[in-house]
Amino acid sequence: MSWSSTAPDGTKSVKDNRPILGNNTIYTETTMKIDHHWNESVSLDGHHNVIQQNKQDAAGVPVNPAQPVAPIQGKTYVRTVSDAAGNDNSNQLFFRQDFIGYPLAYQVSPVYQTGVANLTTTPSTILSVPKNVYGTIWIWRQGTRNIQTATFFSDNTVVEGFSLRIKINTHGSTSSTVVDFSNGAIASALNLQAARVSGFDSDGNYNWKCFFYGAVDI
pLDDT in tens, 69-105: 888 888 999 988 876 666 667 889 999 887 766 667 8
Same domain, 21 and 87: no
Are 70 and 127 part of one and the same domain? no
Domain match, 134 and 153 both = yes
Q: Are residues 8 and 87 in the same domain?
A: no
Q: Is 70 helix (H, G, I), strand (E, B) or coil?
A: coil
Residues 91 and 61 in one domain: yes
* Whether the predicted pLDDT of 170 surpasses 70: no
Q: Are residues 14 and 66 in the same domain?
A: no
Q: Using CA atoms, how far apart are residues 184 and 9, in angstroms rounded to an integer? A: 74
Give exposure, 129-148, as e/b (b: 16+ Cβ within 10 Å). bbbebbbebebbbeeeebeb
Task: Say whether both 160 and 102 belong to one domain.
Answer: no
Q: How many residues does the chain have?
A: 218
pLDDT level of residue 171 (50, 70, 90 thresholds)? low
- What pTM does this model have? 0.78
pLDDT for 99 equals 72
H or E segment to which residue 17 belongs = helix 14-35
Cα–Cα distance measured from residue 192 to residue 64, given in angstroms and rounded to the nearest whole number: 29
Contact 136, 130 (CB under 8 A): no
Say yes or no: 99 and 37 in one domain: no
Instruction: Of 146, 150, 139, 144, give the one whose Cα is nearest residue 206.
Output: 139
Give the per-residue pLDDT at 217.
57
Domain that residue 68 falls in: 57-107
**pLDDT digit string, tens, across residues 143-162:** 887 889 999 999 989 999 99
Q: Hey, which bits of the chain come out as E strands?
A: 57-58, 61-62, 74-82, 88-97, 105-107, 111-119, 124-128, 133-141, 147-154, 159-163, 166-167, 175-176, 179-181, 191-196, 204-214
Indicate if 125 and 92 belong to the same structural domain.
Answer: no
**CATH number for 122:** 2.60.40
> Which pLDDT value is given to residue 105?
82
- Which residue in 213, 201, 204, 215 sits closest to 148, CA to CA? 201
Give the CA angle between residues 122, 125, 110 to the nearest 5°. 140
119 with 207, same domain: the answer is: yes
Which pLDDT band holds residue 62 (cuts at 50, 70, 90)? confident
Q: Give me the chain's average pLDDT, please.
A: 87
Examine the domain organization and report whether 189 and 153 are in the same domain: yes
- Could you tell me if 62 and 144 lie in one domain? no
What pLDDT does 58 receive? 86
> Structurally, how many domains does the chain consist of?
3
DSSP state of 121: S
pLDDT in tens, 7-34: 999 999 999 999 999 999 999 999 999 9
